[in-house]
Chain A
Amino acid sequence: MATIVELNDHIKNGKFAEVERVAHELLKMGMDPQEIIKDGIVPTLDDVGQKFSAGECFIPEMLIAAKSSQKILDILKPRLVQENYEPRGKVVIGTVKGDMHDIGKNMVAMLIESAGFEVKDLGVDVSSDVFVDTIKEIKPQVVGLSCLLTTTMVNMKGIVGSIKEATPDDDFKIIIGGPPTSEQFAREIGADYYGRDAYAGLEILKGIATVS
């Protein structure tokens, strides 16, 4: 008989076929899909995420856990739709104009989606116009901007400025992240938060979702 503990283990070890099998079985056994997210995915991602932040596990392990969780979500989605599942919040995320790097951004996107947020991932090399149009269209609670290069930090600054100018009345928070960015840089460019790593980003998001 499939158990949540079994699911927790398979999320970490990357046995994707087993992850899918157990998720299907749990549903068949009548477990509520929201419970599978709450007890199966969220605590496992918290555990791996905390270890990642502490330098006890690395990009491969974090990616494995995030990918496994995505596979479970794909199985749960039809049921969640049927049950009019309300996401914890909406997030728009992208790597800024001129920057093609997406490993960090993808990890954040997978993590927060697996933790119950609705994510609109705009990809890489995203202009301020695309950010602004998407924000106006889907009204997110949070916008996440990523960059890897010091030379695209200036584009990040420009995009934050454009977003704020184009959406003065909208109530959302901007989180930035990426190797060359910092708490201080976030303040300088008018972003609300700086996420030191993927898990730190998720923690900030949980805080925002709780408040709103």
Chain B
Amino acid sequence: MTHRERILAAISHSQPDTVPIDLGATRDTSIVVEGYERLKNHFGIDSETELCDRMMRVVKVDEKILQKLDIDARSMFPGKPQKGESKELGPRMYRDVWGVEREHPEGSFYFDQRKFPLAGEKAVTDIVNYQWPDPDDPGYVQGLKERLKWIRENTDCAAILTLPAPFVHISQYLRGFEDWYLDLVINAKLIETLFDAVLEITMEVARQELLEVGQDVDIVIFADDLGAQQGLQFSHEHYVKYVKPRHEKYVRQIHDLSPAKVLFHTCGSVAAIVEDLIEIGVDILNPVQVSAGGMDPVELNKKYGGRIAFWGAMDTQSVLPHGSVDDVKNMVAERIEQMGEGGGYVLSSCHNIQPDVPLENVLAMFHHAREYVPSFIK
């Protein structure tokens, strides 16, 4: 099987020759700068480090490393807006295209929000009159066709197109988390206006990306975190009322403009909405955060296996950062046995690999995923 065939088999629920693996094909399955530098040193790579996400300080993994680790998928990230992706506000501070200000505190590996531009007492007119980014900026689609051509000519891997996060993430960054949660209960009109204002822009950027390369990519990914550690961030009732219909619209556009499978990333405990995700047309769920409440891989596979594929499930909260190489190998073997039979599973870390994960654990995860022969294949 080629790498692409292996991925396509797995996400179509038929048995691949071995469980496919991903590093860096999405903004949520890559690695943070410090860990990446160790990986580069290990493989003797001296290329310049390039980010695919500034806030999370996550990298575009060098092709040579992807080949050494035998990774099955390749990334296709949108280009940067021509009017500028961000404005520098200081040595460790910037304002992004949405107007959200972020800083990178000492002792942290990431940027975090320092100013939420639509927080506090706001009226619907404040949302409407906000200075929204231009979705027609030609920068977003720049380079996508060339990247796809390059993947097809130089690799036999699956191509994954990244679309913007629809509205949950961005509206939380704009409104501030506390006001956002309160609005869901006491100011629905305001928060729905914000959701729709953001969605209008992200859907247009997504539409243009899909028109550019949607017909020829293998998978399309979008992300919007809905889970917390023990359960959903908000009730299922709120999900159904405010989030699900908007995500459904977003997914419908993808299916209308592309034959690719739809991969949806949401961190945390989301067992309560897997059925809803299947219903709105999500084909693959990432990251299957096994350390979160109710995210037991066996249970999930039993209930939903065959109807939705799983992508991730390598624990980044405990085993990868704090476990031994043997713990990591055991986790790899266990997960493949739990989720790999008959396809339906692509192995990757549950989130971007953080700087607290030792190099040997990163290597053990990918090497063992390739070396381990599952009982259902023997």
A residues lining the B interface (CB < 8 Å): 13-16, 55, 57-61, 63-64, 67, 97-101, 103, 106, 125, 149-155, 179-180, 182, 196-197
Contacts and interface: CB of A to CB of B under 8 A. Distances in A.
A98 B177 contact: no
Interface of B: 103, 105-110, 112-114, 177-178, 181-182, 184-186, 228-235, 238, 293, 316-318, 321, 354-356
Given A60-B185, A150-B321, A100 B105 contact: yes
Nearest to A99: B108
Contact of A59 (B105, B112, B181, B321): B181
A58 B317 contact: no
A172 to B, nearest CB: 24
Contact of B185 (A55, A64, A149): A64
B50 to A, nearest CB: 21
Given A14-B185, A64-B186, A180-B318, 15 more contacts: A13-B185, A14-B182, A15-B186, A60-B182, A61-B185, A64-B185, A97-B105, A97-B106, A97-B107, A100-B112, A150-B356, A153-B356, A154-B356, A196-B230, A197-B230
Given A58-B235, A59-B234, A99-B108, A64 B356 contact: no
Given A14-B186, A63-B178, A154-B356, A58 B109 contact: no
A151 B235 contact: no
Contacts, number: 86
B186 A98 contact: no
A106 B181 CA distance: 13
B107 A152 contact: yes
A16 B183 CA distance: 13
A194 B105 CA distance: 26
A63 B356 contact: no
A106 to B, nearest CB: 7
9 contacts: A16-B186, A55-B293, A59-B233, A59-B234, A60-B184, A100-B108, A101-B112, A103-B181, A150-B317
B316 A150 contact: yes
Contacts of B234: 58-60
B229 A179 contact: yes
Contacts of B238: 58, 60
Nearest to B176: A103
Given A67-B182, A151-B354, A100 B235 contact: no
Contacts of B231: 55, 58
Contacts of A125: 105, 107-108
A99 B318 CA distance: 18
Contacts of B321: 150
Contacts of B293: 55
A-B pairs, 7 with minimum CB distance? A98-B107, A100-B112, A98-B108, A179-B229, A60-B181, A14-B186, A55-B231
Nearest to A180: B317
Nearest to B356: A151
A59 B106 contact: no
B228 A59 contact: yes
A13 B185 CA distance: 8
Nearest to A14: B186
B317 to A, nearest CB: 5
Nearest to B186: A14
Nearest to A125: B105
A100 B102 CA distance: 10
B181 A151 contact: no
A109 to B, nearest CB: 12
Contacts of A16: 186
A85 B232 CA distance: 38
Contacts of A98: 105-108
Contact of A55 (B107, B230, B354): B230
Contacts of A99: 108
A25 B230 CA distance: 39
Contacts of B107: 97-98, 125, 152, 155
Given A14-B186, A99-B108, A179 B317 contact: yes
Nearest to A154: B356
A38 B109 CA distance: 44
Contacts of B229: 179
